[in-house]
Amino acid sequence: MTKTHITVDREFTVGPVPRRLFGSFVEHMGRCVYTGIYEPAHPNADENGYRTDVLDLTREMGVSIVRYPGGNFVSGYHWEDGIGPVDQRPRRIDGAWHTIETNAFGLHEFAAWAKLANVEIMEAINLGTAGIKEARAIVEYANHPGGTAWSDKRRANGSKDPFGIKVWNLGNELDGPWQIGHKTADEYGRLAQEAGKAMKLVDPSIELVAVGSSNSHMSTFGEWEYQVLSHAYDEVDYISLHAYYQEHDGDALSFLASANDMDYFIESVISTVDAVKAKRQTSKSVNLSFDEWNVWYQQKGDAEDQLHMVEKAPWREHPRLIEDTYNVTDAIVVGTYLNSLLRHGDRVTIANQAQLVNVIAPIRSEENGPAWRQTTYWPFARVAELAKGQILRTVTSGDKFESKQYGDADVVDVSATHDADAGRVAVFLANRGLEESADVTMTLRGFQAGRVTRAEVLTVPEGGNRFTANTEDAQDAVGLVKLEDAAVEDGQLRVSLPPLSWAVIEIDATEA
């Protein structure tokens, strides 16, 4: 058994829990939209064609904000194709994912779906094949009340009230050679500056996200962020981060330690952002939007090959693309990414797990069939539900393990929050030990700690192994079960975590 001691103190906090940290992503890619959230012929579809089973799971999951409509897709997408009478909308080639886009689902359909799902919209604009004119027009169309050409067109298309979209992505992954409209940092920085300026002249209340490096292993990483913000710092409110991880060649320990890389990525971008802030001698802070993150078992490891994954396939509508099936190990790792985001919640104030349905997603669905929760659904759902109030700083000491790719890592990974209004502390723990249980004690300074009110764990089910997954035929093979060995004694939480597990523990805790 490994041993870990954790200390939290009521007075030592990171900051308030940003509700936008629990975001997701809907892209016109594969079956995320069509037969995912939208399938008019499905038995569970409502009068607008939305799958109510997927809507129910989205609400249960606690998603707060959803990025739309891409992704690589948006760099070749013209939003005007998705408005007006559906039977008059054009069919287009989508070069990003080598598919046919029918445009049966567009901005109005997504806005109505978002209202039903109780999520905020995060709209991405095309700065690949489009520019300032189109950026300004969509803000007017979406947010202006009326009396202008674009806002009156929205009203004529059936939406009298503005959509009121506050968060806008200024393009997607434009440092990537695979991106339609790939640009240098100077080219993109100037375009983002001018597009952002034009958009805020239409609606000064909006918040803008500049494109950061597509991942921390890009040759442009660091220099890209610095140059882009040197142009657009005054116009933007966030810069984006994207990261995907997978287990390579059976190296489970590196995979389990990969949150180390997420920590590094976040802290490096914070340093770069603040260097620009210092150079400009401004009091304005730019925060981080980690608007794509997840486990993704890419067929090719090089990000430059993404565009070529499907190019040899025939042109068709919403084919199956990257529909990864997630197992126990993946769920534990996703839990550590959520911990990393929480630990940096003072600067990472938006995050979007990519994507919501079918495409590397926590929710799976079948055409004319069921929808179900993948293993990765559960850590997200519980953190979104219980992480409220203030993020507590955690100090951890105890056993570590060595990984080939990411160095030393704590066997037990943790984040914690304090909800003063409810008088609760929520603790989120991952035991990354493959074979050993973890004996954990947690000292709660500044609290009058009472009883454990909830203790749940996700781990290898009886008769299964770390690769066990939820499938259409076994939808509940992996889930959360009651964690028996969790109790508060003399102001300390004591818990025994089974090998390879993710747990959530909620404690009655008032101010001492």
E strand residue ranges, 133-217? 167-169, 207-210
Amino acid at 505: I
Residue 173 annotated in active site: yes
Residue 120 annotated in active site: no
Answer for the pair 319, 99: CB distance below 8 angstroms, yes or no: yes
Catalytic residue among 27, 123, 140, 292: 292
> Residue ranges of the alpha helices (H) in 304-436?
328-343, 377-386
Name 101's bridge partners. Answer: 92
458 closest CA partner among 431, 435, 427:
431
Answer for the pair 380, 336: CB distance below 8 angstroms, yes or no: no
Catalytic residue among 27, 109, 140, 173: 173
Answer for the pair 190, 152: CB distance below 8 angstroms, yes or no: no
Residue 244 vs residues 165, 337, 503: alpha-carbon distances, Å? 27, 10, 23
Whole-angstrom Cα distance, residue 85 to residue 474? 41
Place of tokens 């997954």: 469
255 closest CA partner among 341, 336, 339:
336
Residue 169 vs residues 17, 121, 386, 444: alpha-carbon distances, Å? 22, 11, 28, 40
Q: Give the residue numbers annotated as catalytic, written as ranges.
A: 173, 292
